[in-house]
Amino acid sequence: MRLIGKGAMGEVWLADDDLLKRQVALKLLSLSASLSEAEREASIARFYREAQAAGKLSHRNIVVIYDISEEGGRHFISMEYLQGQTLDRVIASGPQPPERAAEIVAQVAEALDYAHRQGVVHRDIKPENIFLLPDGTVKVTDFGIARVMGTTTMTQAGAIIGTPGYMSPEQIKGERVDSRSDIFSTGVVLYELLSGVKPFDAETITSVMYKVVNEPPPPLASLVPGVPAWLAGVVERATAKDPAARYQSASQMASELRSGGAYAEEAAPGTVLLREGAPAKGTVLVTAHAGLEVRCPGCGAGLKQGPKFCPRCGIPVTPAVPAKDAAPATHILQQAAPATVAIHPRLASAAPVPAQPPVPEAAAAAWEAPVKKRGGGRKMIAALLILALAGAALAAFLVLRGGPDRKKAEEKARLSEEASEDKI
């Protein structure tokens, strides 16, 4: 065995599993001699309970827990041995490129989403608990065990749970926490990866906790001028003070990081999804989604791309056309009529978008032309119907008036038929 890590609450040893012929990491629980017997028993019980919760998780981005046991009065966890480095060492090398930071944190969010769906909240997401393997795979460690084990800022008996610089405001205030607390901590890690500095740094723990609860972090753009606006928006939303303003699931955060900001939450039919960089007034940049519909403002009928008029009520509608300089699967939707607009979370602080955007003059002219043309067509159709009715009336009049002549013709035709039969 070889000692590979040590903290105030335990040690980590590298050992060989002779039975399965593999190397494992053994994490040994250290209990302070100052703890009372009741506190020791509570700590051991919590250690086992939380280790068992972590042991039921099976995900490529979560460290594998093999066993939990006791030997010679020492309680330990046998777990997957990881080769690579923790994120605190990665951050110490300097700010990371946006693409790399987004990829790392997307894997963290995917691991958390899985854990949350299994009913496990980490409560201590921080760089030291995130491992980066040489092939780029991320492993999240210390699920639940962080209540007892970790650094000097970690949990002691009766103390707060978590590391102050990464704890959510509700966690610091001692309120009930859920999966959104982990999302806050993940946003803090992303901020640190991009900037190389802690967003709530201060000289004392008390000052750090005050900043987390009451002050926003310095804008990323002021520290990293080249950071993409969408990525800064992900950090801003994840680290919102109000849990309701954050991503409501880690999968949402992971999806946005994976898609480079093009992700938008599912919207109801008839909703136009507004993205950053709308090209001009009266146009909205939308990401093409399966099931995205545009509805007629007059009758509510679903409209497909292509028709210029609503098939039900005839209101003119300008169809969606491909965006010239947009990414694949992106369209420019001309708003020929009022539409429901769902503002992307990153644009919530931007200038409000009116429910019925102003129509450009050129577009207005384009819309009026089909209306006039359609109005002329209706007049022509009405005239043709009148002529047809008049012709039918005239034909009926002639038939009635020519009744005797028609009778003579029928008699003549019948006589001719009799004459033919006689000849046969």
pLDDT in tens, 18-51: 888 889 988 888 888 888 888 888 888 877 877 7
108-134 core/surface letters (b: 16 or more CB in 10 A; e: else): bbbbbbbbbeeebbbbbbbbbbbbbee
Residue of 343, 364, 362, 339 whose CA lies nearest to 352 = 343
Mode of pairing for the β-strands spanning 294-295 and 302-303 = antiparallel
* 3-state SS, residue 295: strand
- Looking at residue 359, what DSSP letter applies? P
- For residue 121 the two structure tokens come to 């909240």
Alpha carbon distance, N-terminus to C-terminus of the chain: 125
d(CA 301, CA 270): 10
Mode of pairing for the β-strands spanning 130-132 and 65-71 = unpaired
Fold exhibited by the domain 2-80: Phosphorylase Kinase; domain 1 (3.30.200)
- The one-letter amino acid code at 299 reads C
Lowest mean pLDDT among 58-67, 87-96, 174-183, 275-284: 275-284
Of the candidates 124, 135, 178, 405, the residue annotated as catalytic is 124
- For residue 275 the two structure tokens come to 């993205």
Please say whether the beta carbons of 38 and 59 come within 8 A.
Answer: no
For the question of residue 124 being annotated catalytic, the response is yes
What's the confidence (pLDDT) of residue 424?
40
- What mean pLDDT comes out for the span 93-110? 96
What's the confidence (pLDDT) of residue 8?
59
Please say whether the beta carbons of 238 and 179 come within 8 A.
Answer: no
Lowest mean pLDDT among 77-91, 110-124, 410-424: 410-424
CATH class assigned to 85-258: mainly alpha
Mode of pairing for the β-strands spanning 271-274 and 340-343 = parallel
Domain boundary assignment for the chain: 2-80, 85-258, 264-359, 367-420
What's the confidence (pLDDT) of residue 297?
61
- For residue 422 the two structure tokens come to 């006689």
Q: Band of the pLDDT at 4, cuts 50, 70, 90?
A: confident
- Alpha helices in 3-79, H assignment, sequence order: 37-55
What's the confidence (pLDDT) of residue 341?
41
Q: Which helix H or strand E contains 6, and what residues bound it? A: strand 2-7
Supply φ then ψ for residue 143, to 5 degrees. Answer: -70, 115
- Looking at residue 236, what DSSP letter applies? H
